[in-house]
Structure 1
Amino acid sequence: MTPGGRGRSRQNAIYRPGALGTTPRVPTDNTELERRARSVLDARAWAYIAGGAGGGATMRANREAFDRWHIIPRMLHGTTERDLKTQVLGTDLTAPLLLAPVGAAGLVRPDADLLIAQGAHSSGIPYVFSCQGSSPMEETAQSMGGTPFWFQLYWSSDEDLVDSLIERATAAGAQALVVTLDTTMLGWRPQDLDLGSLPFARGQGIAQYTSDPRFMTLVRERLASAAAAAAEAGAQVAAKGAAGLGINPRHPVGAARAVRGGVGALLSTSREHPGDLRTNLRSPEPRAAVETFLDIYSNPALSWDHLVTLRDRTSLPVILKGVLHPDDARRALDAGVDGLVVSNHGGRQVDRSVAALDALVSIREAVGPEPTVLMDSGVRSGADLFVALALGADAALLGRPHVYGLALDGAAGVSAVIDNVLAELDLTMGLVGAASIQEITRDLLVE
């Protein structure tokens, strides 16, 4: 236990400079945090990070679910110290919080994954590496500085690539494998669609793949096949000219815009691809990597039959992320899965989906107190984390807020957001009378 607690320490770190006129670079208020992050992000980055599926009903439902629950503080409990430590599937946690995987965070800052890892390490919180990361997992693991991390897997349609990613994560030191189930195809995301913006199509967020030997074998096979087809087609392909790009010469403005867009895409894919920029600009490989990724990154046919093969493919604890129905939760645990993350992908996949917190309640009731159940989607504060724990989560994953901190102050911004969330959790525990995570129970809530 920490005398005085994490909350008072964080307050002092803010109030003392405040006496001299210095205010926090990263706001403690979540609405202001989001507002300031939006002010420094470009339209594409904001749409991808903050946007959701459809009209945003699921995102709103996630927050409304938290708003329905109220904490009942208890008085005269004499609690002066709190112990936030816990353990989940063999991973020791200094607090019941992990950073959620966020794909294509390179939209926000160069080397985003490395900066997030550094921020997580500074605050002593594990990070779940995104399969759609902007840096190879081996480099991100080094930036964790010994702080535990897990790896998120999107199940590719190429089974050898699935094995390669698992093997690399194990070799890099991941302590668990988090298989995301709810993104076998992209949801309907108007913010991205209206900008015509998909980061992966510009080579952003595919570093786990372009650093993978199996994936690059697929890329080179694609190039070889394309070269053979081009040689066979010969002059017929060249004759298509501008028509093949969909450019109408009668509309020079549209043609110029298409050319600029093409140059921008070329620069982006060349910068993101491993190797020298000048060499990449002259090579077809970066574009072929993007096309290969778009073809195979996820498997729409993913089924229970695929999941049962994991026991022969990894010794890591396996956690399924994206479970929302009690029957799916029971079936997963019966199949030998080690844990679940109750999640609707932050409202990014299915509009009008059930709120993750509501699903947590029904799943915990269905599976009982013993199985490991985490949750994400909608967690914004220490008070939210308290509610999730009281309703049965063993820990929670924090998504968008840590990316907003990244946007404002890099690794220090990530760390600040974590510290603020855990400070509020610690203070809430102290004011309610819970001396440990195990003492955060449902009888401290009312709906």
Structure 2
Amino acid sequence: MGDARGGSWLSGLGARAAGSMALPLREYVEHGAGAGVTAGEAAAGWGRLRLRPHVLRDVTSVDPTVELLGCSSRVPWGVAPTSLQRAVHPDGELATARASAAAGAVMVVSSNAGSTFDDIAATGVTWWLQVYLPSDRTLAGPLLDRAVAAGATAVVLTVDTPVVATWHPSEALIWDLADPAWTRVNFDPGYDDQPGSEKALDLGPHDIDWLRERTGLPVVVKGVLRGDDARRCVQAGAAGVWVSTHGGRQLDRSLSTAAALPEVRRAVGADAEVYVDGGVRSGLDVVTALAAGADAVFVGRPVLHALVEGEAGVARWHAALLTETVEALRLAGCRTPADTRDLLADDADEGPYPV
């Protein structure tokens, strides 16, 4: 989706979207915690990895399909959970869901969503629910029940947010300006006023098993950056481990997800699926992440940038990323995402990552 003069529709997406967002919303979408070190290093992390492409391979037909938690996804990426989508565009999550359904991509729905689970499900998208567990776990029950009833196929437990890290907007917080209808519409009225509704400070491996038993769905643990933590998640029954820095919004100076991913993949092996987000901006980034051990990547900010143009913008984002990903697979001598497992030069001595 580029031209000979350089650049592409994807690379210019953020700058174009910024011009359409009021400052409080733009700062919310783009901010990182603290000094923004982790947020600022995310995209560059993928550029520091190097690939060893194959040659003399027939790449006439390239199939980017992957299987995620037993379901087929036509592309090796999905939409990461983000809040305030209706502040970006009136159709919010529904526009994202319709475009993602057409692209054959998984959508992870924030528990803070401004669209009902039933309405999202009606688009036909394959969707997972992202949750934060409250101190009183029983308060999560109604939200989980609604998601299961509406057809969620997995639960994504965010574990890197015992508290929300400090950041310093230059104007009022977007949460203070947002229409209440833009967020948390799937919670019971008065939820936030109940004792025990604050985020849990005592998350542990037992919560993974509790969520799995409570919902009957596979559980993915999001926010893991270490191999030992990843192993604990798998031992506790996680079906997937998601390497993430929360978009650089939690502990600043955390290492990039590109740097953390290979260790997590080695620790998990073939016992669970491994996903990654953070700084993925191009099809080459997607292929690099697959080579570094991811079963799929998830993307947050660029989807919000595309959502400025509604469903059509998100659809164009999916299409452009597919074009770039297929090109990168061909240039790497790979017909499928599984063929990327031995491409990473930095870890050539470790052998291919588990498929």
Contact 1:72 1:446 in 2 (8 A): no
Partner SS state of residue 427, structure 1: helix
- Verify: 1:180 aligned to 2:151, yes or no: no
Q: For residues 162 and 59 of structure 2, what CA distance do their matches in structure 1 show? A: 47
Aligned to 1:190: 168
Contact 1:360 1:391 in 2 (8 A): yes
Letter in 1 for 2:87: L
Aligned to 1:255: none
- Normalising by structure 1, we get a TM-score of 0.72
Aligned to 2:204: 303
Aligned to 2:295: 394
Q: For residues 125 and 116 of structure 1, what CA distance do their matches in structure 2 show? A: 10
Contact 1:387 1:445 in 2 (8 A): no
Equivalenced residues, count: 344
Partner SS state of residue 147, structure 2: helix
Partner SS state of residue 122, structure 2: helix
> C-alpha deviations, 1:111-130, integer Å up to 9, x for none?
31111111112222111011
> C-alpha deviations, 1:42-75, integer Å up to 9, x for none?
0111011111111111012222221111233333
Aligned to 2:286: 385
The answer for unaligned runs of 5 or more in structure 1 is 1-10, 16-26, 220-288
Greater CA radius of gyration, 1 or 2? 1
Aligned to 1:441: 341
Q: Which of 320, 324, 328 is equivalent to 1:424? A: 324
- Normalising by structure 2, we get a TM-score of 0.90
Deviation, structure 1 residue 179: 0.7
Q: Which moved more, 1:61-70 or 1:437-446?
A: 437-446
Letter in 1 for 2:31: G
Deviation, structure 1 residue 358: 1.1
Q: For residues 15 and 58 of structure 2, what CA distance do their matches in structure 1 show? A: 39
- Give the alignment's Cα RMSD to 1 decimal: 2.3
Q: For residues 32 and 305 of structure 1, what CA distance do their matches in structure 2 show? A: 44
**Aligned residue runs from structure 1 range 37-56, under 5 A:** 37-56=17-36
Of all paired residues, the percent bearing the same amino acid is 33
The answer for unaligned runs of 5 or more in structure 2 is 348-355
Q: For residues 131 and 33 of structure 1, what CA distance do their matches in structure 2 show? A: 26
**Aligned residue runs from structure 1 range 105-144, under 5 A:** 105-143=85-123
**Aligned residue runs from structure 1 range 124-273, under 5 A:** 124-143=104-123, 145=124, 147-191=125-169, 194-199=170-175, 202=178, 204=180, 207-208=183-184, 210-212=185-187, 215-216=188-189, 219=190
Aligned to 2:353: none
Deviation, structure 1 residue 334: 0.8
Deviation, structure 1 residue 293: 8.3
Q: Which of 357, 373, 387 is equivalent to 2:258? A: 357
Letter in 2 for 1:189: W
Q: Which moved more, 1:306-315 or 1:351-360?
A: 306-315
Q: For residues 67 and 293 of structure 1, what CA distance do their matches in structure 2 show? A: 46
Q: For residues 336 and 85 of structure 2, what CA distance do their matches in structure 1 show? A: 34
Q: Which of 84, 90, 102 is equivalent to 2:82? A: 102
Structure 1 residues 134 and 348, CA gap change in structure 2 (3 angstroms): same
Letter in 2 for 1:313: R
- Verify: 1:414 aligned to 2:296, yes or no: no
Deviation, structure 1 residue 308: 3.3
Contact 1:103 1:205 in 2 (8 A): no
Q: For residues 297 and 359 of structure 1, what CA distance do their matches in structure 2 show? A: 29
Greater helix content: 1
- Verify: 1:335 aligned to 2:315, yes or no: no
